[in-house]
Amino acid sequence: MSHMFLKSAQGAAVANGADAGAVVAEMLARIEREGEAAVIDYAARLDGWTGPIVVPEAQIVAAEAELDEGLKADIRYAHENIRDFALAQRLSAQDMEIELRPGLFAGQRHIPLATAGCYVPGGRYAHIASALMTITTARTAGVRQVIACTPARGAGGPAPAVLYAMKVAGADRILCLGGVQGVAALAHGFFGCAPADILVGPGNQFVAEAKRQMFGPVGIDMFAGPTDSMILADETADALTVAWDLVGQAEHGQNSPVCLVTTHKPLAREVLRLMPRCIAELPESNGAAARAAWDALGEVVLCDGAEAMAAFADRAGPEHLHVQARDLEWWKQRLTSYGSLFLGQNTTVAFGDKAAGPNHVLPTSGAARYTGGLSVHKFLKTVTWQRVEDEALPALAQATANISRHEGMEGHARTADIRLARLSPAPMVAGH
């Protein structure tokens, strides 16, 4: 036995009854035809918002005045961590030049995008951290213009704490828009904004589908599904801590899988016993979301060793991978497939979700097997250049022409020939 399920998922993630693809396609087509008028109509009909789309500066100032000083200090603390980590990432992306052969030079440059569109979701929660994660990272990468949008939360517009976070993070303009109409407005450059070169940020299935359908003319961070989390634990783990870490991630909602993978059967049994009790301590709406996720998608897996646990995690490619086991350095070096890795009992996923520094916009649904999460690198174009001097020309032109002719591309070959001929012109004939 390499692994055995003590609790298996009872079903797949629950899909919205509407055909998201068709709904989004129809909305995007109308917005393409009618422009800002369609966006304003959708905002009124879907979000109940009839106020100004561009959030006035006075409202942002008023939001800041409304907040508790402690919350503002915590938002600034999180922003500083996110900014400093992003800055370290930016400094790791270096321009470079190499002389591959005498006279053959090549290099790369990292060029920030001109405009980023950052989507900050609404829904049940006020997503303060999402505002910080997207806007701060774009700004730190050197993006010239950062536009953000977030839906209204009632008659007053966006949540004051989200507006303050957007201001601290460095948004140039904030739009009171959500859903498909929000990301479409960012992409098209409506309401006095420049069209976005890239759309980033989490959202519901309609936001994700809108980003997917618009990808090509505009870049996106990733096609994200419901958040997911996995814990790898041995006998040193504390069952109550593990249970609360699972509950904390299940709180995202009924579509959010959580999984415990362990080598210690008594730990697994105790976590299974504790889960309903922990969920019962949550506020009613949070508890309902966590209970639905745990009942339908929660899993507990028993493995026969650390290597089996690591192999199971690598196959799954979880968004959040939390190790609560001995020898953390071994795990850090061994594990290869995750959105973000959380090492040790002290390092809860919630720290990464809110304030630790590394980005929380991460690949979901197993996409961590082939990609990482949002970072400054998403806002940089890594472009290359090359320059050829006379010294390198003969060998390079000969190889290019030969390969081109073998491929059947005579025009390519001639572009190499003409440069070689110019370097070594035919000798002059006597009398001419």
The set of catalytic residues is 319-320
Conformation bin of residue 70: beta by default, left when phi > 0, alpha when psi is -120 to 50 = alpha
Q: What are the residues facing 215 on neighbouring strands?
A: 218
Distance, in Å, from the CA atom of 375 to the CA atom of 256, rounded to the nearest integer, reads: 23
Burial 377-415 (b: 16+ CB within 10 A, else e): bbbbeeeeeeeeeeebbeebbeebbeebeeeeeeeebee
Residue 36 in 3-state DSSP?
A: helix
Residue 79 is which amino acid? H
Q: What are the residues facing 344 on neighbouring strands?
A: none
Distance, in Å, from the CA atom of 422 to the CA atom of 410, rounded to the nearest integer, reads: 18
Give the count of beta carbons closer than 10 Å to the beta carbon of residue 328: 15
> Which whole-number Å values give the CA distances from 10 to 61, 189, 292, 299, in the listed order?
48, 44, 11, 9
Distance, in Å, from the CA atom of 117 to the CA atom of 113, rounded to the nearest integer, reads: 11
**Lateral strand order in the sheet of 96-101:** 96-101, 104-112, 380-388
Q: Is 15 exposed, middle or buried (0-12, 13-18, 19+ CB in 10 A)?
A: exposed
Instruction: Please enumerate, as own/partner, the contacts of 25-28 that have beta carbons within 8 Å and a separation of 24 or more.
Output: 25/213, 27/180, 27/181, 27/184, 27/210, 28/180, 28/184, 28/210, 28/213, 28/214
Distance, in Å, from the CA atom of 134 to the CA atom of 118, rounded to the nearest integer, reads: 6
> DSSP code of 79?
H
Do the beta carbons of residue 338 and residue 321 sit within 8 Å?
Answer: yes
